[in-house]
Structure 1
Amino acid sequence: MTRPAWAPQEVDIDRPSAARVYDYYLGGSHNFAVDREMAQRAVADWPDLPRIMRSNRAFLRRAVRWCVGQGLDQFLDVGSGIPTVGNVHDVARADAPDARVVYVDVDPVAVAHSVALLEGVPGTGVVHADLCDVDEVLDDPVTREVLDLDRPVALLVVALLHFVGDDRRPAEALARYRERLAPGSVLVLSHASADDAGSHADGHVALYRRTATPMSMRPHAEVLRFFDGFELVDPGLVPLVDWRPDSPTEGAPVPGYAGVGRRD
């Protein structure tokens, strides 16, 4: 296909990207035909997928607004994907104009798009690194330039950990972030789960094996362990739509869990 002007030259536009598929689900425009084809195949098998993705993004927006309400104005968004629809800096700056955000992703496709999109946006930065390489993330010159790690930071790990297998020891990585971040920092986390997903989950997992980011879902008890050492704020680790909804009619429950924990 013809490469659009906004697409960085280094990205492969012929292979689906999980970051661009997610952008498509959210109604964004930074995706290609190959991404839309994969998304449409997934939706044919699991019609609720777009609603699940939008519920996840809505949780992110609510959690960011909650963080700002707690006085947090620094955000480290790890596994950020492409910061287009409902991105963190736009949501945070609606109430905290000086909020600063570093977007981190291991996917070179997401990083390349992010660098292009955030060019000229002050108080933001992009780091190409893996969640589990904690020191690499926190000691990157971009992170150090944008964020003051002596002050509290909101660590966003939203819709990421189901792409990180147990062999990568993600719980140990989160414990290392907890050790290094300042008191008052928070962990914002959501995770896909096969709990209450019926027969759709297996097919969805198989489909994601086509991408560079295969998926493994976890039950509630395993997701809860990621908050070890953090104090969960009300209402705890709950279904996505139940975490501090904007209204009682936020939406029907969808598979997956969300929570926010505070580091003392």
Structure 2
Amino acid sequence: MSCIQQMDELVKEYLLFRGFTSTVRALDTEVKSEKDKAFRPDKIVEQFVHYITLYDLHGLKDYWNHFDQSVFERLDQNFMPAIKKMENSLLRMYLINACVNGKPEKIHEFFEKLGYELQHQLEWKDWFALPFIKNPEENPTYMVYFTRQWQDTMLISLHNLLAISFQCLPQPKLTTYHEEAARVTRLQAENDQLKSKLARSNVCDSRESGSANILSSDTLPPGLDLIDEFYLIPVDTSPADSHSRSFRSFIRGFGTNSTGLVRPGVKKIYVKIFLR
């Protein structure tokens, strides 16, 4: 019921859009005088206390009857004892407030108007003696009702009873639509968060894959081969091979100058060498 005020604004916006100005004025008038207070338990409790402090017994009873008929009757029968106890507590708070503030006439008025209704209830048997007892705050029967703790506990219990009762009421389709729209918005936000998390996870996986393949030959530019870092280390050669290569080099360079030409005055000599 927390969205009732927002729903009221949406309804008025629609009525103004349609040009139903007289309907909007009528709605505003009824909203200001409504008893349900937009189903806000705190405001309803304040209204009950207002009737008690003003000694408005008729207003107190009428306000309770409104919720008894429009809200409490829809509840399960298991709630009935608690509801009846709460009604009695409100009436007793009215009497205690009159006693504390020295209003004996209000106490007599109370029993004159409600005496016939309450005389058959066992819970009120001892309370009919209240107008004739001096210092009732010291009497064991009424002492607890004069304490601040009892009064605060009673008002909190009334608040909780109203809150639970409103939750049990069937919701109109307009408020259901609002809740459904809020649920869709919440799911969309969760979906966006999951998408963002998945994107970050994919980026991390790509970086790890690139680091693992950095030494692969597939990542080298075309035409560039890996070079053995140990190619400068000479290989093991035997003395015979070294001697043979040196002798061949001597034969190739025999009779030629540094440019590879035959020296003047030197005839070519063909030497046939048999190497082992």
The normalised TM-score by structure 1 is: 0.23
Rg: which structure is higher?
2
Structure holding more helix per residue: 2
Structure holding more strand per residue: 1
The normalised TM-score by structure 2 is: 0.22
